[in-house]
Amino acid sequence: MSNRDIIFGKIATGLKALRDDKTRQATVDSRIAAKFRHPTPARVAGRSHDEHVALFKSHMTGQSATILDAATAADVPALIAGYLRQNNLPARLTVGEDAYLANLPWATEPTLERRQGRAQPTDEVSVSHASAAVAETGTLVMASGPDNPVTLNFLPETHIVVLEVKDVVGPYEDAWMKIRARFGDRTMPRTINMISGPSRTGDIGGKLVMGAHGPRRMCVVVVKG
Amino acid sequence: MVEIKTREFKANARVALDDPQLQRALAGLPGGLVAQRTAARDKLPEFEDLRDVGRDIRDHTLAHLDLYLAEWERKAVAAGAHVHWAPTAADARDIIEKICREANAKIVTKGKSMISEEIALNGYLEARGFEVVETDLGEYLVQIRKETPSHIIAPAIHLTQEQVEADFRRLHTHLPQDRVLVEPAQLVDEARKILRQKFVAADVGITGANFLIAETGSSIIVTNEGNGDLTQSLAKTHVVVASIDKVVPTLEDVSSILRLLARSATGQEFSTYTTFSTGPRRKADPDGPEAYHVVILDNGRSELLATEMREILRCIRCGACMNHCPVYNAIGGHAYGWVYPGPIGAVLTPSLIGVKAASNLPNASTFCGKCEAVCPMKIPLPKLMRLHRETEFDLGNLPRGYAFGLKTWAWFAKRPRLYHLGARFAIAALGALGGARGAFRALPFAGGWTKHRDLPAPQGRTFQQLWAEQQAGLNRPSQTRARS
Ligand code: SF4
């Protein structure tokens, strides 16, 4: 008997489950197919998109991230350059192959150097493009791939995320609808990172310290147009 | 085999009470988590209703556990995962060793995983020549001290900042002796730099899993540091160790449970990083692991399904029950003698390693009911502890443990008064304990206590009132049973 058979046999015995119980299987299949939504918090349910955006921003700020507002996509490079200057950070970015980011008018900021690819341990600043953002807790949803490699989210000390306002949703469940629409039903990219601010720890004497292993700083550029 | 010291609970507890360093570390820490949880709960009016939702999701999943696991496996394999089934801890260790060998691993990094503690993985791999590095800061502190975690979400909660500084000076000898390590941030920074090198050099990264999702075949980790993500994204091979009870049906289901997890654990609205991993890196991906293995451990859990202990399998390991437990707050996690401390440990440990081996744990309770009141999965922890006690009684194991339970309770019964006097649990109180212990032994009031606790609710009487009555001997007639 394989290890798998041993475990499944014990579970079936424990549940007194019959081998060919079609009803149980049907229950499981329909539960997964239905994607039943449990009640979502009133802080987002039935609220307007503007309210979601405002709530997202206030949560993110409360979680020690910086929010920058861009009226149009064209403003993003200048905002990023300004943020780096203000924080005395190098004007060198690592970016994935994301088409939206590639099409930003980077030429307006000639001092900004850009390298395309995954993050290397020596990289100090990365820029990625969020797949969605959840208002209820101020949480970015990042999907991995060549467009936005997962290492960009964790290796550099400063992580800049560009978020289009249209991608802000109320509850987590709406973010999953976006992911399903993009990758297909029951299909996920290698990694989905839900990120709610810069890295932190409370492991030394119970005191909160930012920048435990991941980014010390997070900046979210929210693009309206 | 895992070192089990649960039988020494009584002695461990005494040592813990007399350890001034530990008492200093415990002062305020679990208490801080309690206040933060309360604040987070109050900010989400739906919190209490969500506990019912969470309980129901887990109950439904457990009732169809075989089918959801099979569905999760099907989707995981379709995404390129290697799924391994481990009936016992020894099986899991063998499987992981083999994966490490096949990966030609030298350095193995680890994200925080209670299952890996349960199977005593570190020592096993180290004995076979692998360098194993814990990367969660708390776990790292515990590892360099050759200790075990004393809390399931804050492994180093028993350590003071000064102890950490001393350890860093002792171990990180390549750094200047006169460096300044006064602020927690400086200590964190030092550990960050050292562990960065390990992340980059690692061949295999091992993480736990907070959940598995049947819908998508994914595994989930929840962290604040991002260490689990560096562990699983930089090494060529990512190994997940999870137990059979971690599966949930859909992304919607896990979303509801995640609304409870961080709030119950740390009082955050959401943890900084919640990561969903599905298979290895895709063809076009420039990063991520080339191989993704998931080891699913049973280790006695399936045997609980047919028993009243099934409810403990709803646990999402948030730690709220220990933060709120007066016994845990007084003695810390190590006294419990095995991987899981606090009320969850007092129920889970005897369930997994046997009531006989864990004889004193179900008695490590004042039956104050706080743990059940805060458990996000509404697990009736006191009831389950009582069930273990009954088994213990049937095994003829009782007198020693029970007598100790009595004494423990008696001792804690005195604490509300200490609180009222404004005296924090301190050395002075510890001194008083010695005397109190003898006095309480002569006052066998547990019978009366149990009697009250068995009522649906202690109608209209507070703990303090009960205490006053006990003192006045009002309940004496009903107490004779206690020693029989
Ligand atoms: S028993 Fe409940 S409170 Fe305790 S760790 Fe598990 S889920 Fe959290």
Q: What angle do CA B348, B352, B355 make, to 5 degrees?
A: 85
Instruction: Report CA B235 to chain centroid distance, whole Å.
Output: 27
- Rg over CA atoms, chain A: 21
* Count, residues in chain B: 484
Q: At which of B269, B299, B329 does a domain end?
A: B299
Interchain CB distance below 8 Å, A176 and B251: yes
B410 and B290 assigned to the same domain: no
Q: Could you tell me if residue B36 is inside a domain?
A: no
Give the count of Cβ contacts less than 8 A between chain A and B: 264
Q: Which residues of B touch A146 (CB under 8 A)?
A: 284-286
Cα–Cα distance, B157 to B151 (Å, whole number): 7
Residue B270 backbone class (left: φ over 0; alpha: ψ -120 to 50; beta: rest): beta
Which residue's CA is the closest to the ligand 1 atom numbered 7?
B315
CA distance B165 to chain A (A): 10
Which contacts of A20-25 are long-range, i.e. CB under 8 A and separated by 24 or more positions?
A24/B64, A24/B67, A25/B67
B65 and B200 assigned to the same domain: yes
Q: Which of residues 149-178 of B touch A (CB under 8 A)?
A: 154-157, 159-161, 164
Q: Is B382 on the interface with A (CB under 8 A)?
A: no
Interchain CB distance below 8 Å, A199 and B160: no
Residue B239 backbone class (left: φ over 0; alpha: ψ -120 to 50; beta: rest): beta
Retrieve residue B32's tokens.
């801080």
Cα–Cα distance, B101 to B97 (Å, whole number): 6
The pLDDT value recorded for residue B424 is: 33
* Count, residues in chain A: 225
Of B49, B154, B192, nearest to A213 by CB-CB distance is B192
- Other CB atoms within 10 Å distance of the CB of residue B463: 12
Per the structure, the complete domain to which residue B449 belongs is given by: 400-483
**Can you tell me which residue has the tokens 């980790």?**
B221
CB A5 within 8 A of CB B222: no
Retrieve residue B335's tokens.
């006294």
Q: Could you tell me if residue B470 is inside a domain?
A: yes
Q: Could you tell me if residue B167 is inside a domain?
A: yes
Interchain CB distance below 8 Å, B86 and A172: no
Q: Is A67 on the interface with B (CB under 8 A)?
A: no
Q: Could you tell me if residue B160 is inside a domain?
A: yes
**Can you tell me which residue has the tokens 């099934």?**
B310
**Can you tell me which residue has the tokens 């802080």?**
A43
Q: What angle do CA A91, A95, A101 make, to 5 degrees?
A: 100
Q: Is B303 on the interface with A (CB under 8 A)?
A: yes
Q: Is A173 on the interface with B (CB under 8 A)?
A: yes
Q: Could you tell me if residue B447 is inside a domain?
A: yes
Which value does ipTM take for this structure?
A: 0.97
Q: At which of B238, B272, B299 does a domain end?
A: B299
- Other CB atoms within 10 Å distance of the CB of residue B27: 15
B82: CATH: 3.40.50.10420
Ranges of residues in chain A whose predicted pLDDT is under 70:
none
Cα–Cα distance, A52 to A49 (Å, whole number): 5
Interchain CB distance below 8 Å, B46 and A41: yes
Cα–Cα distance, B102 to B293 (Å, whole number): 12
CA distance A195 to chain B (A): 5
Dihedral sign, CA of B196, A142, A223, A54? negative
Q: At which of B299, B317, B341 does a domain end?
A: B299
Query: To test ligand 1's pocket by mutation, which of B59, B211, B266, B316 has the most ligand atoms within 8 angstroms of CB?
Result: B316
Q: Could you tell me if residue B341 is inside a domain?
A: no
Residue B258 phi/psi, 5-degree rounding, is -65, -25
B294 and B442 assigned to the same domain: no
Distance B178 CA to ligand 1 centre (A): 43
Using alpha carbons, select from A61, A49, A63, A194 the residue that is nearest to residue A132. Answer: A194
Partners of residue A210 on adjacent β-strands:
A200
Retrieve residue A5's tokens.
């058979």
Retrieve residue B399's tokens.
């007198």
Q: Which residues of B touch A217 (CB under 8 A)?
A: none
Retrieve residue A116's tokens.
């395309």
Fold of A41-223: Rossmann fold (3.40.50)
Which residue's CA is the closest to the ligand 1 atom numbered 2?
B375
C-alpha distances in Å from residue B434, one per residue of B18, B92, B260, B427: 11, 45, 41, 12
Per-residue pLDDT of chain B (484 residues; tens, 9 = 90+): 356 777 778 788 888 888 888 887 787 666 788 999 999 999 999 999 999 999 999 999 999 999 999 999 999 999 999 999 999 999 999 999 999 999 999 999 999 999 999 999 999 999 999 999 999 999 999 999 999 888 888 888 889 899 999 999 999 999 998 999 999 999 999 999 999 999 999 999 999 999 999 999 999 999 999 999 999 999 999 999 999 999 999 999 999 999 999 999 999 999 999 999 999 999 999 999 999 999 999 999 999 999 999 999 999 999 999 999 988 888 888 888 888 989 999 999 888 888 777 767 777 777 899 999 999 999 999 999 999 888 877 776 554 444 454 455 455 555 444 333 332 332 222 223 333 332 222 222 223 223 222 222 223 333 334 334 444 433 333 333 333 2
Cβ burial, residue B451 (10 Å; 0-12/13-18/19+): middle
Boundaries of every domain in chain A = 1-34, 41-223
Q: Could you tell me if residue B195 is inside a domain?
A: yes
Partners of residue A115 on adjacent β-strands:
A94
Q: Could you tell me if residue B66 is inside a domain?
A: yes
CB A93 within 8 A of CB A113: yes
Using alpha carbons, select from A27, A45, A33, A61 the residue that is nearest to residue A173. Answer: A45
Amino acid at B96: I
Helix/strand/coil for B87: coil
Nearest CA in chain A to B30: A206
Interchain CB distance below 8 Å, A32 and B155: no
Distance B265 CA to ligand 1 centre (A): 9
Dihedral sign, CA of B314, B74, B210, B7? positive
Task: Kindly list the protein residues whose Cβ atom lies closer than 6 A to any atom of ligand 1.
Answer: B 264, 315-321, 344, 375-377, 379, 381
Which residue's CA is the closest to the ligand 1 atom numbered 6?
B315
The pLDDT value recorded for residue A131 is: 98
Instruction: Report CA B172 to chain centroid distance, whole Å.
Output: 29
Cα–Cα distance, A220 to A198 (Å, whole number): 11
Residue B223 backbone class (left: φ over 0; alpha: ψ -120 to 50; beta: rest): beta
Task: Tell me the pTM.
Answer: 0.87
Using alpha carbons, select from A157, A203, A107, A180 the residue that is nearest to residue B184. Answer: A203
Q: Is A189 on the interface with B (CB under 8 A)?
A: yes
**Can you tell me which residue has the tokens 């040592």?**
B15
Query: Domain count of chain B?
Result: 2
